[in-house]
A and B are shown apart, each in its own frame.
Chain A
Amino acid sequence: MIKNYIKTAFRSLQKNKGFTTINVLGLALGLATCLLIVFYVVDELSYDKYNVNASRIYRVNEDLKLGDNKVQYAVCMAPLAQTLKNDFPDVENAVRLKKIGDMHVTKGTESILEDNALFADPSVFDVFTLPAIYGDEKTALTEPNTVVITEEMAKKYFGKLNVVGENLIIDGNLQKPIKVTAVIKNIPEQSHFHVDFLVSMASNPEGHSTEWLRSDYNTYVLMRKGADYKRLEAQFPQFLRKYSGGQMQQELNMSYDTFEKNGSYFRLNMMPLTDIHLHSNLTGELGTNGNVEYVYIFSAIAIFILLIACVNFMNLSTARSANRAREVGVRKVLGSARKHLMFQFLAESTMVTFIAVIIALVTAMLALPAFNHFAGKNIIVNSHTLTWLAPSALIAILLIGFLAGLYPAFFLSAFNPMQVLKGKISAGFKGGALRSFLVVLQFSISIFLIIGTLVIYNQLHYIQNRDLGYNRNQVLIIQHAFELGDHAKTFKQEIKQLPGVTNATLSGYLPVKSTRGTGIFYKEAVADPKKSLFPQIWSVDEDYISTLAMKIKAGRDFSAQMPSDSNAIVINETAAKFLGFTDPVNKVVYRSSGGPNPTYKPYTIIGMVKDFNFSSLRDNISPVVMQLNTDNSSLSIKVNTANIPALLSQIENRWKDFTPAHFQYSFMDQDFDAMYRSEQRIGTIFIAFTTLAIVIACLGLFGLAAYAAEQRTKEIGIRKVLGASIATIAGMLSLDFIKLVCISILIASPIAWYLMQKWLQDFAYRIGIAWWVFAIAGVAALFIAFITISFQSIKAAIANPVNSLRSE
């Protein structure tokens, strides 16, 4: 019996090659897209799970509020880890990690800056799962001047894997040879921190600090099995009071009670390790994390696309099966029970789904490298992937096959055979209320996606073209100017003399991703958090404001001619607002020296710059205080020439006169774009998926239109014989669908408006959604639908009526 069904199914599919192709390809395309998104989502969700103890590891975060200033840190105090281990039996182990900012490793004559270097306590191997290939993890990081490196670094610096006992020559602050004590496997891609060098914490001169009022260490806790971290968290307030109270009295001259009474606080909280990648974006993260919002958005898109593809499949299957009403009638007359017929239709759609799933799997594999490229991922398919992919594919086949076959199975098998055979049930196309509903569903989703894409693109465009309060164009940034040592200023002066250079400034504090530092200013010479400002403090030179073309709103810029400017500051508008100064110029604020009996140093505000954006435009501008200070992290050069390569080589030659260090540069506008790379990527992916969704929806519409035309061949023939024009007939055939698309526009627009409005709330600087976005989306959908349908309609209308009438 099954053989008979499969045979019929196969031959019937073959006979309707066009339909079958559209049906299978549409579904395959949808499934492939969906699969890629699933890969992406699975990858995002798998962060840090490589750790055997992942479910027991927590990072301790710190929330700090001083007066009106709030900061959330991913770092904690130096003594915290050890103290937690001593005081709480629930804490099985704890480890501190600290980024090493300027790790230069010598290779031959070259000095290479390594970004992924951390100081780590020896317990790092007990908390995280970082298996060693060579060397002993237990003792690897107990001594000063020891380092554990990844296999990749072993190959890079020694050209072999077993390098235990060899020395790495470190430049920068460490300035000494350190011994490799172990080689570990490369850190998996799915880790919230990426490290190539783990230097023993004992090598860190500040590693033994007992400061409870400074936070520099990413601190991770391994809880005992079965221990509840909430219970530990509940004890933190008491714990902090105990350890930081004394130091607060000493350094801030304030009791912990007064501190809290003023509305300020220190708070510690624990974040599960596996939440970090998607849910954490704090100050002091070890790397750039992902964003759970995008996981949601992509999951939604995947479901949408799957839905559209399945609806297509269902619609086309149903439409086509109406052609087979006669077969159903005959089979019933020949004695087929209803359940046999239902089984037949279900088996058939499952078969088609199976083929589609196979094509989808192959397509997804082939498209994976391209997808990786523009999603900025490194997803690979391995045997582990198959353990969930194979069962899911099977479930998908059965589920989609079942759903798609369901309607024809129930609907057709219920026909009265004699009526079918008499041709009473032509399975009138117009009567397909379900089909209309499904078409509306598909187009609502497509229109929603079009609107979403337009809004996202407008927002990104807006961000990139907003007046940021400074000019990032034609600014060249020379990195690591500290390599120049004492010659940095001379170098800057020489560069300023070059033709094509308008200005230059030495400072690592740039409005793109770069160095950041904070501190406290008081309005009076007492440590009163209520009258304090907690701004970013930027060290700049007197050319800074002019080089970046920031606007002075009041007062003046720093000047080399004014020696008193070493005690002067320039603030931004937000800082003035926080301080409550309408006219901040010549007002004086104070910084505390700290320690017992602190002294207070006065600073005069000499100017106020217009607010400028220096972090993501998702965030509001926070207070900034600029101070004349030497910071040689980088040299920013405002250039004014078309021949940048020539200028660059001139600058590089000067650089080489001063230092053998590697010459590294970037452009500020590119650095700015980098801040929005994830948004850019999302935008691109969104567009790609939207396009696919619309293509799939149109594929379905194309099929349905073809089917509708076929159903009505006889009617069309008669109408033509009676004198109807091609245009009238094409219009008649298109109208039904166009109506459905119009309904979709009405449904999708308000939903899209609401959801996109919510997305925009995340941006401190955002666009409004203009009416024309909806107009464009609507017209586009109508246009695409019309083109798709009219192709079929016109084809049907042009056909010679004699042929169609004879076939009846």
Chain B
Amino acid sequence: MLSLQHISKFYQVGGTRNFVINDISLEVEAGEFISIMGPSGSGKSTLLNIIGMLDEPSSGYHYFAGETVHQLKDKQRSALYKKYIGFVFQAYHLIDELTVYENIETPLIYQDFKSTERKAMVADMLDRFQIVGKKDLFPAQLSGGQQQLVGIARALIAGPKLLLADEPTGNLNSKQGEEIMQLFKKLNKEDGVTIIQVTHSEKNAEYGSRIINLLDGRIESSKQL
């Protein structure tokens, strides 16, 4: 589904190049569930963002769903992204001014779905995540776990093939975290969504089918479960 070859990313600090991602090559097949681990500052988020096309590498080759990403223009990349990828954040990043319903609906608006279609899709998603009762609440009125649930629902609403999650359980207690992981596993198994998550927890990492360990911008080890 995607392939990174000799991807590097550096920041120029003074005269020296500070490599955050250092010559990483990575193949991901459709249907995989990958957990990325590593100490803080090792480049996990940066790698995830590059995969998600939210950040550009300094060098290397990037292929996604048959497209040569490093050669695409901004617009095409954005279209590709809209079509295939959903993002989940550690800090949820819901829009405070919108209700649960409206937050979930937003990506559909940007993808030009019709109002009736949107209604059906959002209703379906609310149902699936069992948050129908909360649909008119604002993010500030929800607990962290509930907010992350909405965040995931929003990431999934447009039916992405790839779900990227940067420490999705980082702000949650272990019970809430476990629920989210169960949900990911189910998505991966039943719906065939490819998932790449960054996590600090060994236990959560083991929900995945492969664990990649990063250190100083390199893949230190990779383990198939």
Which residues of A line the B interface, CB within 8 A?
1, 4, 7-8, 11-12, 15, 326-327, 329-331, 333-337, 340, 416-418, 421
Known contacts A329-B93, A335-B81, A335-B158; can you find 9 more A-B pairs with CB under 8 A?
A7-B97, A8-B98, A330-B94, A331-B95, A331-B110, A333-B93, A417-B54, A421-B89, A421-B91
Please tell me which one of the listed residues A7, A333, A337, A340 contacts residue B102 in the complex, with CB atoms under 8 A apart. Answer: A7
On whether the beta carbons of B89 and A337 are closer than 8 Å, the reply is no
On whether the beta carbons of A336 and B110 are closer than 8 Å, the reply is yes
Q: List 21 A-B contacts (CB under 8 A).
A: A1-B109, A4-B105, A7-B97, A7-B102, A8-B95, A327-B95, A327-B97, A330-B93, A330-B95, A331-B95, A331-B106, A333-B93, A334-B107, A334-B110, A335-B78, A335-B81, A335-B110, A337-B78, A340-B110, A418-B54, A421-B93
Proximity bits, B144-172, A CB within 8 Å = 1, else 0: 00000000001000100000000000000
Contacts of A329 in B (CB 8 A): 93
A4 to B115: give the CA distance in the assembly, Å. 11
Contacts of A416 in B (CB 8 A): 55
Which residues of B line the A interface, CB within 8 A?
49, 54-55, 78, 81-82, 87, 89, 91, 93-98, 102, 105-107, 109-111, 154, 158
Please tell me which one of the listed residues A327, A337, A417, A418 contacts residue B110 in the complex, with CB atoms under 8 A apart. Answer: A337
A421 to B167: give the CA distance in the assembly, Å. 14
Contacts of B154 in A (CB 8 A): 334
Q: Is chain A's interface secondary structure helix, strand, loop, or mixed overall?
A: helix
Q: How far is the CB of A340 from chain B (nearest CB, A)?
A: 7
A8 to B78: give the CA distance in the assembly, Å. 23
Contacts of A335 in B (CB 8 A): 78, 81-82, 107, 110-111, 158
Contacts of B106 in A (CB 8 A): 4, 331, 334
A747 to B181: give the CA distance in the assembly, Å. 63
A590 to B82: give the CA distance in the assembly, Å. 102
Contacts of A331 in B (CB 8 A): 95, 106, 110
Q: How far is the CB of B205 from chain A (nearest CB, A)?
A: 23
- With most chain B CB atoms within 10 A of its CB, the pick from A8, A15, A329 is A8
Contacts of B78 in A (CB 8 A): 335, 337
Please tell me which one of the listed residues A8, A326, A336 contacts residue B93 in the complex, with CB atoms under 8 A apart. Answer: A326
- With most chain B CB atoms within 10 A of its CB, the pick from A7, A11, A12, A15 is A11
On whether the beta carbons of B109 and A4 are closer than 8 Å, the reply is yes
On whether the beta carbons of A333 and B95 are closer than 8 Å, the reply is no
A330 to B91: give the CA distance in the assembly, Å. 11
- With most chain B CB atoms within 10 A of its CB, the pick from A4, A7, A329 is A4
Q: How far is the CB of A166 from chain B (nearest CB, A)?
A: 75
Shortest beta-carbon contacts, A-B, top 10: A11-B97, A335-B110, A335-B82, A334-B107, A330-B93, A8-B97, A12-B97, A418-B54, A336-B110, A1-B109
A471 to B81: give the CA distance in the assembly, Å. 89
A15 to B87: give the CA distance in the assembly, Å. 27
Q: How far is the CB of B12 from chain A (nearest CB, A)?
A: 16
On whether the beta carbons of B49 and A418 are closer than 8 Å, the reply is yes
On whether the beta carbons of B87 and A333 are closer than 8 Å, the reply is yes
Q: How far is the CB of A383 from chain B (nearest CB, A)?
A: 41
A416 to B54: give the CA distance in the assembly, Å. 8
A326 to B96: give the CA distance in the assembly, Å. 10
Contacts of A340 in B (CB 8 A): 110
A416 to B52: give the CA distance in the assembly, Å. 13
Q: How far is the CB of B94 from chain A (nearest CB, A)?
A: 7
A8 to B94: give the CA distance in the assembly, Å. 12
On whether the beta carbons of A7 and B98 are closer than 8 Å, the reply is yes
Contacts of B55 in A (CB 8 A): 416, 418
Q: How far is the CB of A333 from chain B (nearest CB, A)?
A: 5
Contacts of A334 in B (CB 8 A): 106-107, 110, 154
A334 to B108: give the CA distance in the assembly, Å. 9
A1 to B110: give the CA distance in the assembly, Å. 8
Contacts of B93 in A (CB 8 A): 326, 329-330, 333, 421
Q: How far is the CB of A3 from chain B (nearest CB, A)?
A: 9
Q: How far is the CB of B47 from chain A (nearest CB, A)?
A: 12
A336 to B82: give the CA distance in the assembly, Å. 9
Contacts of A421 in B (CB 8 A): 89, 91, 93
Residue of B with least CB distance to A2 = B109
A340 to B158: give the CA distance in the assembly, Å. 18
Residue of B with least CB distance to A8 = B97
Contacts of A417 in B (CB 8 A): 54
Contacts of A8 in B (CB 8 A): 95, 97-98
Residue of A with least CB distance to B97 = A11
Q: How far is the CB of B182 from chain A (nearest CB, A)?
A: 25
Contacts of B81 in A (CB 8 A): 335
Contacts of A418 in B (CB 8 A): 49, 54-55
